[in-house]
Amino acid sequence: MHQRIDVKKTMIPIIRMFGVNQYYGRKKALRDINLDIYEGEFIFISGPSGAGKSTLLKLLYLGEAASHGQILVDGVNLSRIVSKRIPFLRRKFGIVFQDYKLISSKTVFDNIALVLEAIGHKRRFIQKKVNSVLRSVGLEERHNAFPLSLSGGEQQKIAVARAIIGDPKIILADEPTGSLDAKSANIIFELLKRFHRRGGTVIVATHDMELIRKNKGRIFYLDKGVI
């Protein structure tokens, strides 16, 4: 199933996949994936659990290398990238996970600041930008809290804040609302839409059809590793 809703195209796709296959031993997780994603698009990758949605996202940020095929991200061929360049590829993405992946021993502020520290920004700039992003997700007062003291919705907001702070071109969200109640899920989706409205590309992997129906975007339906 391949449904086109709203395609905000530029001439060159920001992501291209040609004949991508992914194997785990004998098991084929993805089969012959071919797709183009354009800058500024809002993409849903949908399908049942185990369909290969998370695997497809992992291939984009090189969480895993594709077994076969070619992937181009913003002009970079991932099959030819040298390991030293992988961090620079990952800076093109902001990644949001269902389990938030926040560092429990760091404060909210430090979790978000980590992205800018890794890029090498100065302390003063980091302070300013983190506070501004925290304000935009409505958690400015919780900057000194530790992730485990926050609710699921708040933790996911922090994860989104961390994803957008480095001004990435693309946000990859893997089941971002999977463990949240409806109200929190809406807030998280609003944050993603806000990033999209500013021209960013958003790719959301979700099995929640209700969420897809409520929001506009191009949909790729994955089933047993096939689009």
> Strand, coil or helix: what is 98?
coil
Q: How far is the CB of 6 from other proteins (least distance, A)?
A: 29
Q: Amino acid identity of 33? A: I
Out of 118, 125, 135, 149, name the contact with other proteins by CB under 8 A. 118
CB of 43 or CB of 114, closer to other proteins: 114
Q: Is 105 in the site for other proteins (CB under 8 A)?
A: yes
Write a three-state SS string for 191-225: HHHHHHHCCCEEEEEECCHHHHHHCCCEEEECECC
Contact between 114 and other proteins by CB under 8 A: the answer reads yes
Q: From residue 154, how far is each of 134, 139, 145, 148, 177 by CA, in Å?
A: 11, 8, 11, 10, 12
Using CB under 8 A, pick the residue from 8, 10, 24, 123 that binds other proteins.
Answer: 123
35: left (phi over 0), alpha (psi -120 to 50) or beta: beta
Query: Binder to other proteins among 1, 24, 88, 224 (CB under 8 A)?
Result: 88
**Residue 189 Cβ vs other proteins, minimum distance, rounded to whole Å:** 22
- Give the CA count within 13 Å in the CB-facing half-sphere of 39: 12
> How far, in Å, CA of 32 to CA of 166, rounded?
32
Site string for other proteins, 21-60 (x = CB under 8 A): ----------------------------------------
Q: Judged by CB under 8 A, does residue 61 bind other proteins?
A: yes
Give the residue, chosen from 28, 90, 193, 207, that forms a contact with other proteins under the rule CB under 8 A.
90
Contacts for 140 with CB less than 8 Å, ≥ 6 apart = 131, 134
Contact yes or no for 226/31 (Cβ under 8 A): yes
Residue from 87, 141, 182, 223 in contact with other proteins (CB under 8 A): 87
Binding mask 151-170 for other proteins (x = CB under 8 A): -----------x---x----
Taking CB under 8 A as the rule, does residue 101 contact other proteins? Answer: yes
**Binding region for other proteins (CB under 8 A):** 61-65, 83-84, 87-91, 93, 95, 101-103, 105-106, 114-115, 117-120, 123, 162, 166
